[in-house]
Protein backbone atom coordinates (compact mmCIF):
# COMPACT_ATOMS: atom_id res chain seq x y z
CA UNK A 1 0.00 0.00 0.00
CA UNK A 2 2.83 2.33 0.85
CA UNK A 3 4.30 1.43 -2.51
CA UNK A 4 1.07 2.38 -4.18
CA UNK A 5 0.44 5.55 -2.22
CA UNK A 6 4.03 6.74 -2.25
CA UNK A 7 3.90 7.11 -6.02
CA UNK A 8 0.21 7.75 -6.42
CA UNK A 9 0.82 10.85 -8.51
CA UNK A 10 2.95 8.88 -10.89
CA UNK A 11 0.32 6.19 -11.36
CA UNK A 12 -2.30 8.78 -12.09
CA UNK A 13 -0.09 10.56 -14.54
CA UNK A 14 0.54 7.30 -16.38
CA UNK A 15 -3.17 6.54 -16.52
CA UNK A 16 -3.94 10.04 -17.74
CA UNK A 17 -1.22 9.99 -20.29
CA UNK A 18 -2.41 6.71 -21.69
CA UNK A 19 -5.93 8.06 -21.97
CA UNK A 20 -4.58 10.95 -23.97
CA UNK A 21 -2.30 8.75 -26.02
CA UNK A 22 -5.12 6.38 -26.85
CA UNK A 23 -7.26 9.26 -27.98
CA UNK A 24 -4.45 10.53 -30.16
CA UNK A 25 -3.88 7.33 -32.03
CA UNK A 26 -7.21 5.56 -31.95
CA UNK A 27 -9.86 8.24 -32.31
CA UNK A 28 -10.96 9.10 -35.80
CA UNK A 29 -12.17 12.55 -34.98
CA UNK A 30 -9.44 15.11 -35.45
CA UNK A 31 -10.69 17.36 -32.67
CA UNK A 32 -10.71 14.39 -30.34
CA UNK A 33 -7.13 13.76 -31.27
CA UNK A 34 -6.23 17.28 -30.28
CA UNK A 35 -8.11 16.90 -27.02
CA UNK A 36 -6.15 13.73 -26.43
CA UNK A 37 -2.96 15.60 -27.17
CA UNK A 38 -3.84 18.20 -24.57
CA UNK A 39 -4.49 15.53 -21.98
CA UNK A 40 -1.23 13.85 -22.91
CA UNK A 41 0.76 17.01 -22.44
CA UNK A 42 -0.99 17.88 -19.22
CA UNK A 43 -0.07 14.46 -17.90
CA UNK A 44 3.57 15.16 -18.57
CA UNK A 45 3.26 18.45 -16.77
CA UNK A 46 1.73 16.64 -13.82
CA UNK A 47 4.68 14.30 -13.86
CA UNK A 48 7.19 17.14 -13.82
CA UNK A 49 5.39 19.05 -11.12
CA UNK A 50 5.34 15.89 -9.05
CA UNK A 51 9.11 15.65 -9.39
CA UNK A 52 9.48 19.04 -7.82
CA UNK A 53 7.39 18.51 -4.72
CA UNK A 54 8.93 18.12 -1.31
CA UNK A 55 7.05 16.97 1.74
CA UNK A 56 6.58 19.99 3.93
CA UNK A 57 7.90 22.35 1.27
CA UNK A 58 6.26 25.63 0.46
CA UNK A 59 5.78 27.60 -2.72
CA UNK A 60 9.01 28.66 -4.41
CA UNK A 61 8.95 32.30 -3.43
CA UNK A 62 11.42 33.58 -0.92
CA UNK A 63 9.65 34.47 2.29
CA UNK A 64 10.08 37.81 3.93
CA UNK A 65 12.29 39.29 1.28
CA UNK A 66 12.25 42.85 0.19
CA UNK A 67 14.81 44.11 -2.22
CA UNK A 68 17.75 43.41 -0.03
CA UNK A 69 20.40 40.77 -0.22
CA UNK A 70 19.98 37.55 1.70
CA UNK A 71 22.93 35.38 2.59
CA UNK A 72 22.65 32.22 0.54
CA UNK A 73 23.58 30.00 3.46
CA UNK A 74 20.69 31.27 5.54
CA UNK A 75 18.12 29.82 3.16
CA UNK A 76 16.86 26.37 4.01
CA UNK A 77 16.66 24.50 0.72
CA UNK A 78 14.30 21.84 1.97
CA UNK A 79 11.81 24.51 2.91
CA UNK A 80 11.06 25.50 -0.67
CA UNK A 81 9.93 23.14 -3.35
CA UNK A 82 12.07 22.69 -6.40
CA UNK A 83 11.45 25.55 -8.88
CA UNK A 84 13.22 24.06 -11.88
CA UNK A 85 10.45 21.65 -13.03
CA UNK A 86 7.97 24.50 -12.78
CA UNK A 87 10.06 26.57 -15.12
CA UNK A 88 10.31 23.76 -17.59
CA UNK A 89 6.59 23.19 -17.44
CA UNK A 90 5.73 26.79 -18.13
CA UNK A 91 7.49 26.25 -21.42
CA UNK A 92 5.67 22.99 -21.99
CA UNK A 93 2.27 24.56 -21.36
CA UNK A 94 2.97 27.35 -23.77
CA UNK A 95 4.19 24.90 -26.36
CA UNK A 96 1.04 22.88 -25.83
CA UNK A 97 -1.26 25.80 -26.49
CA UNK A 98 0.75 26.81 -29.54
CA UNK A 99 0.48 23.38 -31.05
CA UNK A 100 -3.20 23.31 -30.21
CA UNK A 101 -3.68 26.60 -32.01
CA UNK A 102 -1.93 25.44 -35.14
CA UNK A 103 -3.71 22.11 -35.09
CA UNK A 104 -7.08 23.79 -34.77
CA UNK A 105 -6.24 26.05 -37.68
CA UNK A 106 -5.44 22.95 -39.69
CA UNK A 107 -8.71 21.35 -38.62
CA UNK A 108 -10.68 24.35 -39.79
CA UNK A 109 -8.98 24.21 -43.17
CA UNK A 110 -9.50 20.47 -43.40
CA UNK A 111 -13.17 20.92 -42.65
CA UNK A 112 -13.45 23.56 -45.32
CA UNK A 113 -11.76 21.33 -47.83
CA UNK A 114 -13.31 17.95 -47.05
CA UNK A 115 -16.40 19.00 -45.14
CA UNK A 116 -15.72 16.57 -42.33
CA UNK A 117 -13.34 16.15 -39.44
CA UNK A 118 -13.53 12.36 -39.32
CA UNK A 119 -10.27 10.83 -40.42
CA UNK A 120 -11.75 7.75 -42.08
CA UNK A 121 -14.09 9.86 -44.19
CA UNK A 122 -11.23 12.08 -45.28
CA UNK A 123 -9.16 9.09 -46.25
CA UNK A 124 -12.09 7.75 -48.21
CA UNK A 125 -12.28 11.05 -50.08
CA UNK A 126 -8.56 11.07 -50.73
CA UNK A 127 -8.41 7.61 -52.21
User: Comparing C-alpha atoms, which of 24, 22, 23, 18 is closest to residue 43?
Assistant: 18
Q: How far is the CB of 81 from other proteins (least distance, A)?
A: 5
Answer yes or no whether residue 59 interacts with other proteins by CB under 8 A: yes
Of the candidate residues 1, 4, 82, 124, the single one contacting other proteins (CB under 8 A): 82
Q: How far is the CB of 1 from other proteins (least distance, A)?
A: 13
Answer yes or no whether residue 124 interacts with other proteins by CB under 8 A: no
User: Comparing C-alpha atoms, which of 95, 100, 96, 94 is closest to residue 31?
Assistant: 100
Taking the least distance from each CB to other proteins, the nearer of 1 and 67 is 67
Contact in structure between 67 and 77 (CB atoms under 8 Å): no
Q: How far is the CB of 68 from other proteins (least distance, A)?
A: 9
**Size, binding site for other proteins by CB under 8 A:** 104
Site string for other proteins, 29-48 (x = CB under 8 A): xxxxxxxxxxxxxx-xxxxx
Answer yes or no whether residue 1 interacts with other proteins by CB under 8 A: no
User: Phi, psi (5° rounding) for residue 80?
Assistant: -110, 140
Q: What is the DSSP string of 23-50?
A: HHHH--BHHHHHHHHHHHHHHHHHHHHH
Amino acid sequence: MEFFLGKFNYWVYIAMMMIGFYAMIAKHNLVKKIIGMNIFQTAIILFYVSIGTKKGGTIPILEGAGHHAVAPESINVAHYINPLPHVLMLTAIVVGVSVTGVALALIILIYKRYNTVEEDEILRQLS
